[in-house]
Amino acid sequence: MSELKSIHLNSLPGPHDISRVVLPNGITLLSRSNFNSPSVVISGYLNAGSLFDPGDKLSLAYFTSLGLMRGNHNFNFQQIYDRLESAGASLGFGASVHTTSFGGRALVEDLPLLLQTLSESLRYPTFPGDQLERLRARLMTGLAMRAQDTAEMASLTFDDIIFPNHPYGRPEDGYIETVQNVSRDDLVEFHRRHYGPTGMVLVVVGAVSPQEVQEKVLTYLGDWSNPQQEAAHEMPEIKPLSESVRKHITIPEKSQTDLVIGTLGPKRKSPDYLAASLGNSILGQFGMMGRIGDIVREQAGLAYHASTSLNAWISSGSWEVSAGVNPANLQKAIDLILSEMKRYVNEPVSNEELSDNQANFIGRLPLSLESNSGVANSLLNLERFQLGLDYYQLYPAKIEAVTPAMVLETARRYIDPDKMAIVSAGVAL
């Protein structure tokens, strides 16, 4: 294969142009200069995710993250957004299982405004009651809509089956009753206990030097401390299913039934992640959604859409097939998908299939790193999953090193067609 020859490795982020420093208060700061752009992008996270949520107050981390920009000790909600909008800048927060994340962009001359807003939002939110009630209403409306969404409900139930009694199996946005249980005092207490610089990661990419970045970050965040900040919890052990589990969620008056079939997958740091990722592309992503899309949708006509996904996180992951089908074709689609998965774990992929996907993986890497935001997100993942600053430089060679035997061995390690979670949501069976 000659894909490596077409990529200039020095153009990819690496130790030669990524600056990484740990500030005295514990913030890890990564930056990469791009003076071909007049803008700057920031991205990052801190260890304040939904794994800290009490069971009866699921959504607490997510709710807290959404409340950060609703007012602080210097500016109210409208003033915060007016200041950003007048500069053509943006900043937002969200929360996942492990972290509360943030991202924003601005012209380089407005980087101080962006960092000031980030600092004030993280350190001094006031969580005004009227704004929190608006957020609560928005959250509950979204959850009511989710309950009528066949794809969302199938996915939610699937996660609960393969990650029982585990943070990965719980929705970050909670349920209607748990959102109702969250009070302003809960948000204030969650912020006090979990927001702080220890373990925080901040990435800055754009028309600014690493020295300037460090100076500005120290100005706005260098004196932040929180001696009460709690350490992350140990995650519970996750065990694979011992047998297949079949579940259907009845949602009346739906013309489409959504289906999820799958199992546990590798965590992102796993040595077999790349083999699994290439295999997943062959199985249900590449071209017209790979083998699954071709067999189930194109040839058999049993699905409106059918594809696979490999979701890899810090402690574990999932390997899923998703399809939208006519309710009358549900069982036929299930049988055909399982049959194709049995073939996948019994026969090696062809050299041609693997070669095409390797070329695709290597060829799209530079495209994903063309923008400041693409680079920022990529650098953030290097830190999040401890992949090493040279990961993107080594990536093409690692992709080319994957063989059909490695893809088959990895598939067999994770996929047992006789031990799958099979979840559908739609009209009554």
Residue 234 counted as domain residue: no
Closest alpha carbon to 344 in 262, 236, 239: 262
Contact status, residue 407 vs residue 349, Cβ threshold 8 Å: yes
Domain assignment present for 91: yes
User: Residue 336: which CATH number?
Assistant: 3.30.830.10
The pTM score is 0.94
- Whole-angstrom distance, CA of residue 94 vs CA of residue 134: 17
Residue 411 lies in a domain: yes
Q: Are residues 327 and 256 in the same domain?
A: yes
Q: Which two tokens stand for residue 142?
A: 């979204």
Q: Domain span at residue 184?
A: 3-221
217 and 250 fall within a common domain: no
Give yes or no: residues 250 and 319 share one domain.
yes
Domain count for the chain: 2
Pair 254, 214 in one domain: no
Are 205 and 288 part of one and the same domain? no
Q: 77-86 and 111-123 are packed helices; what angle lies between their axes, rounded to 10 degrees?
A: 160
Is 65 inside any structural domain? yes
Does a structural domain hold residue 66? yes
Q: Is 217 part of a structural domain of the chain?
A: yes
Same domain, 119 and 17: yes
Q: Cβ distance 133 to 179 under 8 Å?
A: no
State which of 171, 205, 221 marks the end of a domain.
Answer: 221
CA 81, CA 77: separation in Å to the nearest integer? 7
Which position has the token pair 């059918």? Answer: 306
d(CA 26, CA 198): 5
In tens digits, the chain (429 residues) has pLDDT values of: 455 555 677 789 999 999 999 999 999 999 999 999 999 999 999 999 999 999 999 999 999 999 999 999 999 999 999 999 999 999 999 999 999 999 999 999 999 999 999 999 999 999 999 999 999 999 999 999 999 999 999 999 999 999 999 999 999 999 999 999 999 999 999 999 999 999 999 999 999 999 999 999 999 999 999 999 999 888 999 999 999 999 999 999 999 999 999 999 999 999 999 999 999 999 999 988 999 999 999 999 999 999 999 999 999 999 999 999 999 999 999 999 999 999 999 999 999 999 999 999 999 999 999 999 999 999 999 999 999 999 999 999 999 999 999 999 999 999 999 999 999 999 999
Closest to 51 in 3D by CA, of 191, 183, 202, 236: 236
Query: How many Å apart are CA 225 and CA 204, to the nearest integer?
Result: 21
